Chain A
Amino acid sequence: MGQGEHLGEFEALVLTAVIRVGQKANGMAVYQEIEERSGREASLPAIHVTLRRLEEKGLLASVVGDTSPRGGRPRRFYRPTPAGVRALREFRAMWRNVWKGLELPDPETLS
């Protein structure tokens, strides 16, 4: 990862999901994880594209697994690289700093 390059919000989301899913992190599993956590419908193509991009950036690595039980093409499984974990740590640190000591006002009191 080049210096000064930061993770985007969606990239961080995908990267976190890969770590959470663990061994079986393929596109479908990541999708289900993100949908479950965020409570919103995600875009499967966006997840796939992002996974591929993260891999290009060296934040994820992948291996091609066995043929899927359905008989489709072989699945690609992702795992985070050290650089990926580092980038996510940075991302978390940044947001922690952002939130530190911040009291959000009650939206109802704002006109």
Chain B
Amino acid sequence: MSRRELRPPVLSRRVLEWAGRRLQTPELADDAGELFVARAGNDGDRAARRWYRRQARASVGRVLFPRGAQIRWRGARARLRAAPGRWRRCAPRHTRLLEMIVHDLHQAQRSLTARPGWTVAVLLTLSLGIGASSAVYSVVDAVVLRPLPYEEPERLRVLTGWDVERQRELRPLELSYPAWEDLRHRQDVFERLGAYAPTWRVLTDGVTTEPVSAAVLSASMLQVLGVEPRLGRGFAPADDEPGAASVVILSHGAWQRRFAGDPQVLGRDILVNHEPHRIVGVMPEGFAFPDPTRELWLSLKTLPRGSGSFLTVVGRLAPDVTTERAAARLATLEIDDGGNRRITARTTSLQAHTVGDVDRLLFLLLGAVGVVLLIAAVNVGGLMMSRAISRRAEQRIRRALGASRAHLARAALVESALIAAAGSIGGLLLAVWFTDAMLSLRAETLPRQGEIGLHPRVLLFTGLAALGLALAAGIAPFLDSRGGSGGGRALTRARGSDGGRVSSLRRSAPVVAQIALTTVLLFGAGLLLRSLSEMLDLARGFERDGVVILQTRLPQERYPEHADKRALYDEIEERLTATPSVTSMALANRQPYLMMRVHQGVDVERASGESERAVVEVLVVSAGFFEALRVPVLEGRLLRPTEPQPAVVINRTMARTYWPEDTAIGKRIRSRIDPRRDDAPPATVVGIVADTRWGDLEPDPAPQVYFPYDHRHNGDMAAFLRVQPGATAEAIATTRELLRDIDPAIAVSELRTLDDRLARQIADPRFRSALLGTFAVMALVLTFFGIFGVVWYTVAASTRELGVRKALGAHPARLLRTVLRRAGGLALAGVSLGGIGAWWAAHLLEAYLFEVRPHDPWTFCAVAALVAATAIGAALPPAWRAARVDPMVVLDDS
């Protein structure tokens, strides 16, 4: 036997040492240790350990009850059952309280497991309410409420502009390099000013080239934020100078992903935009400035010095300068933005700037989930109350046997606490899962999402929510048990119609409130869902099935001219269409679904022969574009690969707007794509095609002009690949491989189906409607059980009355109708109240609606019908029970 392993259990030893100190018997632990060794020799290790633990437990009892009233858990309960009154009088006070609580806990557990259906209903309600609200709160807390993870974040301000003449705010204020330099030297309210510009770069690692999200930072920027790199250094003023060596700072994520967290990464060179940059620093985990997508930070050196840079300025207020004083000082400081506007600076907090307008949506969701929580509370209260009535006789017997009101209250409280504790655990598990689900719905566009998690404040929130629910649950039965006095009516049954008007109101008011709140939520969710379906159904004018979009970023120095790019695109097309998965390829200068329209001015020749300036949506497309996207031609012809004369195609809206009576074919349009070539020859309209909605979600199509892709266009083009049905994945893989083969320096910034692209465009609306829809469904389910519980309760409470009516000849169908009518009345009242609430709440959603009016009557009717059906459905089982009441119950024991 190895003596070394023979040690008493650590925790118990600590307990014994502690007890020894408290009892002033210092040798206790030593003695116990020696006896432990002796015991292990005789009875074996396990028995010795058990003995040791028993001794430790006994010592706790000694400390807690020094006067000798030993706490014997089981024995106490038995004694209590045998003679509660006598025992309570003779036991010391504190022993009594603890034993009572143990007793109550046991009692609670027994009574909960005795009614599994009821318990599951309560726990589910609690978990749903707590889980959903904790999840939403954890997002709100991380994104909106918690201060930014910088040093003294409340002193950080972002500059916005103020157009003095037009009295208009310019947000964001983006400064050119000279303006930034000028402002930096003239201001005196900030301790330090920093500037940044979000950008993107392509990163080459020898095998592949991919675009990465980056940001240019001034040397002072990290100091303004008060963040130190985890490895290496930040930018120094010397790095900003035009002749300085190219340096780069990595994000923690990029360091982990691309360099496997190699601590020797400093000093290595990486190819950024095909030029070597030296890695000088790695930022700590969680540094997400200006947003979490950034993988690299570059010095100001990389920006052009002239007017072509767009810097956002962040400042740290000097210690003695208030926001107001800063505003007053900045109002006198004019900024030279290169134009001829008079602009002064204003400031907004970095927090507000980072969060943007997502806070409104999040608070809206928090409100919605708060409603769910409220319904859950009402529901749990209702469930508790309905149980209280079924236990009324039991309570009366207990009171008759001498249980005080305080005792019964404590028992109820212990039971509520037990339920609340179990519900919170379920709720927390649900919250973790729910938060993940929420983030996956809106993974790309939510700011500060890296900070979301079960923060202590979230746990506090959960605790408070659970406490509120426990109180609601614990108090509800008392509203009911107030009437039951002492032993007088102890053993008689609950009286037939014991409620009367007041109690009936007390029971229906929560149900009506639930129905009303659910109606409001459902109406909101209905509006958002209708908007979403309008967006999806919006006739785009082109066929997106079976189309893959490919956006490349070409290295400018290898493909400087149109002819170089053209040759490359031709090669890609030739080789791709030779593969079995791709049938055709077309080009356009812009991707669809970019949430913006690019409007340009063109000169159109009206029927009268006059030239008129028109602002239209301009697209530059290759000849195969219309076939590839199945845009039908309505009149004339499509563009050809080579046009001898300048030619354009317009859409129907354009033709109707500018040539309403005459045909547009043969009319002339002069492009202003390149302002330096204003003398470009006017192009002739050769064809009219159907309208497409290429950019933003706008219900009305814009007038469009399609210019052919020719030597005047030297930008990167988006390619549209029409693929064989079912070969999408294969086409994407082939394309990626092919591009790497043609030129590894080509970065692919987008290669996905048009469907995926659309899904990203509607990510926000989908997020809103999915969440609000989920909450509304939760509310509906909870309300269903709420109505069910209350009607069941009412039926149970009026069994005698129903029995009498039946004995007097009432038809079962009539009783059924009576109960259903009552439920219908509740539903009507709830829906009416909810309608008023919905009318008001719809305005909150107005900004999120698309093609649906906030007071859409159809949505409201559908919601009202759904709620009414739910109410009737929930009332059916109890109504059925009412109809089948046995008249014998009246005779029974009355």
* B55 CB contact (under 8 Å) in A43, A70, A72: A43
What's the least CB distance linking B69 to chain A, in Å?
12
Q: Which of B20-28, B92-100, B156-164, B299-307 touches A?
A: B20-28
A70 touches B62 (CB 8 A): no
**Would you call B51 an interface residue if the criterion is a C-beta within 8 Å of the partner chain's C-beta atoms?**
yes
Q: Considering the complex, which residues of chain B in the window 7-66 have a beta carbon less than 8 Å from any beta carbon of chain A?
A: 16, 19-20, 23-28, 30-35, 38, 51, 54-55, 58-59, 61-62, 66
- Contact assessment for B27 and A48 in the assembled complex, using a CB-CB cutoff below 8 Å: yes
Q: Is A81 an interface residue (CB 8 A)?
A: no
Residues of A within 8 A of B33 (CB): 70, 72
* Chain B positions within 8 Å of A32 at CB level: 35, 38
Counting CB contacts under 8 A, is A83 at the interface?
no
Q: Pick from A23-31, A87-95, A103-111 the stretch touching chain B.
A: A23-31
Cα–Cα distance between A70 and B98 once the two chains are bound (Å):
39
A52 contacts B25, C-beta separation under 8 Å: yes
Q: How far is the CA of A46 from the CA of B16 in the complex (A)?
A: 12
Let me know if A44 and B27 touch, CB within 8 A.
no
Does A49 count as interface, using CB distance less than 8 angstroms? yes
A75 to chain B, nearest CB (A): 6
Listed residue (A26, A41, A45, A70) with the most chain B CB atoms within 10 angstroms of its CB? A45
Looking at chain B's contact residues, the main secondary structure is helix
A48 CB contact (under 8 Å) in B28, B34, B38, B66: B28
Contact A76 B27 (CB under 8 A): yes
CB neighbours of A52 from chain B (8 A): 23-25
Given A28-B35, A70-B34, A45-B27 contact (CB < 8 Å): no
Supposing A45-B62, A73-B26 touch, asked if A27 and B55 sit within 8 A by C-beta, the answer is no
In the complex, the answer to whether B32 meets A44 with C-beta atoms within 8 Å is yes
Residue in A44, A73, A76 with the greatest tally of chain B CB atoms within 10 Å? A44
In this complex, what residue of A is CB-closest to B25? Answer: A48
Closest chain A residue to B24, Cβ basis: A52
Separation of A76 and B31 alpha carbons in the complex (Å): 11
A44 touches B30 (CB 8 A): no
Query: Complex: how many Å from CA A72 to CA B35?
Result: 14
CB distance from B34 to the nearest CB of A (A): 6
In the complex formed, the residue of A with least CB distance to B56 is: A45
Query: In the complex, what's the smallest C-beta–C-beta distance from A107 to chain B, in angstroms?
Result: 21
Looking at chain A's contact residues, the main secondary structure is: helix
Least CB distance, B153 to chain A, in whole angstroms: 54
A3 within 8 A of B: no
Q: Kindly state whether residue A97 has any CB partner on chain B within 8 Å.
A: no
User: How far apart sit A73 and B16, CA to CA, in the bound complex (Å)?
Assistant: 15
A31 CA / B25 CA spacing, docked (Å): 14
Whether the Cβ atoms of B58 and A45 lie closer than 8 Å is: yes
Minimal beta-carbon separation of A54 from chain B (angstroms): 12
Contact across chains for B23 and A49 when beta carbons are under 8 A apart:
yes
Provide the bound-state CA to CA distance between A36 and B58, in Å: 19
Contacting residue for A45 out of B23, B30, B34, B51, CB 8 A: B23
B16 to chain A: which residues have CB within 8 Å?
A: 45
Interface membership of A68, Cβ < 8 A: yes
User: How many angstroms between the C-alpha atoms of A26 and B30 in the bound complex?
Assistant: 12
| Contact of A46 (CB < 8 Å), options: B27, B31, B32, B58 | B58
Residues of B within 8 A of A41 (CB): 51, 54
Give the docked Cα–Cα distance between A92 and B35 (Å). 30
* Contact pick for A44, options B26, B31, B66, CB 8 Å: B31
Report the minimum CB–CB distance from B424 to chain A (whole Å). 36
B156-212 contacts to A (CB < 8 Å): none
B347 vs chain A, min Cβ distance (A): 67
Q: Is the CB of A49 within 8 A of B62?
A: yes
B24 and A44 form a contact (CB under 8 A): no
Decide: B25 and A27 in contact? CB cutoff 8 A: yes
Contacts of B24 in A (CB 8 A): 52
Other-chain contact of A43, B25, B34, B58 (Cβ < 8 Å): B58
Q: Are B58 and A44 in contact (CB under 8 A)?
A: yes
State in angstroms the CA–CA spacing of A68 and B66 once bound together.
28
Asked whether, in the complex, the Cβ of B58 is within 8 Å of the Cβ of A27, the reply is no
A27 — nearest CB in chain B belongs to which residue? B31
Max chain A C-beta neighbours (<10 A), residue from B16, B26, B34: B34
CA distance A43 to B56 in the complex (A): 9
A75 to B29, CA, bound (A): 12
Residue of B nearest to A10 (CB): B68
Shortest Cβ distance from B23 into A: residue = A49
CB of B37, distance to nearest CB on chain A (Å): 9
Chain A residues near B27: list those with CB within 8 A.
26-28, 48, 72-73, 75-76
A45 and B35 within 8 A (CB): no
Give residues 761-808 of B contacting A (CB, 8 Å): none
CB within 8 Å for A45 and B19 given contacts A27-B31, A28-B34: yes
Residues on B with beta carbons closer than 8 Å to the beta carbon of A51: 25
Give every chain B residue within 8 A of A75 (Cβ-Cβ).
27
Q: Are A48 and B23 in contact (CB under 8 A)?
A: yes
Chain A residues, Cβ within 8 Å of B32: 44
Q: How far is the CA of A72 from the CA of B66 in the complex (A)?
A: 26
Q: Which residues of A contact B54 (CB under 8 A)?
A: 41
B665-702: contact bitstring with A at CB < 8 Å (1 yes, 0 no)? 00000000000000000000000000000000000000
Report chain B residues within 8 Å CB of A46: 58, 62
- Beta-carbon contact of B19 and A44 below 8 Å: no
* B251-295 CB contacts (< 8 Å) to partner A: none
Query: CA of A53 to CA of B178 in the docked complex: distance in angstroms?
Result: 88
Contacts of B26 in A (CB 8 A): 73
Considering the complex, which residues of chain B in the window 725-751 have a beta carbon less than 8 Å from any beta carbon of chain A? none
| Cβ contacts A55-83/B at 8 Å (1 or 0 each) | 00000000000001010110110000000
Residues of B contacting A44 in the complex (Cβ-Cβ under 8 angstroms): 28, 31-32, 35, 55, 58-59
Name the distance in Å between A105's Cβ and chain B's nearest Cβ. Answer: 24
A49 to B69, CA, bound (A): 13
How far, in whole Å, are A52 and B34 apart by their CA atoms in the complex? 20
CB-CB nearest in chain B for A30: B31
Contact in complex: B35, A70 (CB < 8 Å)? no
What separation, in Å, do the CA atoms of A31 and B54 have in the docked complex? 14
Complex contact A72–B58 (CB within 8 A) = no
Known: A41-B51, A45-B55, A48-B23. A28 touches B31 (CB 8 A): yes
Cβ-defined partner of B25 (8 Å) among A49, A68, A70, A72: A49
Q: In the complex, what residue of chain A is closest to B28 when comparing beta carbons? A: A48
Q: How far apart are the CA atoms of A40 and B16 in the complex, in Å?
A: 21
* A45 nearest in chain B by CB position: B59
A75 to B19, CA, bound (A): 17
Docked CA distance A43–B53 (Å): 11
Give the Cβ gap from B63 to chain A, nearest Cβ, in Å. 8
Contact: A70 with B30, CB < 8 Å?
Answer: yes
**Chain A contacts for B19, CB-based, 8 A:** 45
Q: A46 CA to B70 CA in the complex, in Å?
A: 10
Q: List residues of chain B with CB within 8 A of the CB of A26.
A: 27, 31
Give chain A nearest CB distance to B307 CB in angstroms: 83
- Closest chain A residue, CB of each to CB of B19: A45
Residue on B nearest A68 in the bound complex, by CB = B30
Docked pose: A46 CA to B30 CA in angstroms? 15
- A41–B38 Cα gap in the complex (Å)? 14
Give the residue among A31, A49, A70 with the most B Cβ atoms within 10 A: A49
Task: Return chain A residues, CB-CB under 8 Å to B25.
Answer: 27, 45, 48-49, 51-52
A35 CA to B410 CA, complexed, in Å: 41
Query: Which of chain B's residues has its CB closest to A28's CB?
Result: B31
* Residue contact B31 to A48, C-beta cutoff 8 Å: yes
Other A-B pairs beyond A45-B62, A72-B33, 14, CB < 8 Å? A27-B28, A28-B35, A31-B31, A31-B35, A32-B38, A41-B51, A45-B19, A45-B61, A48-B20, A48-B23, A48-B31, A70-B30, A70-B33, A72-B27
7 interchain pairs (CB within 8 A)?
A28-B31, A28-B34, A48-B28, A52-B25, A70-B33, A70-B34, A72-B30
Give chain B's interface residues, CB within 8 Å of chain A: 16, 19-20, 23-28, 30-35, 38, 51, 54-55, 58-59, 61-62, 66
9 closest residue pairs by CB, A with B: A48-B25, A45-B59, A72-B30, A28-B31, A43-B58, A45-B62, A27-B31, A44-B55, A48-B28
Q: Which A positions have Cβ atoms within 8 angstroms of B? A: 26-28, 31-32, 41, 43-46, 48-49, 51-52, 68, 70, 72-73, 75-76
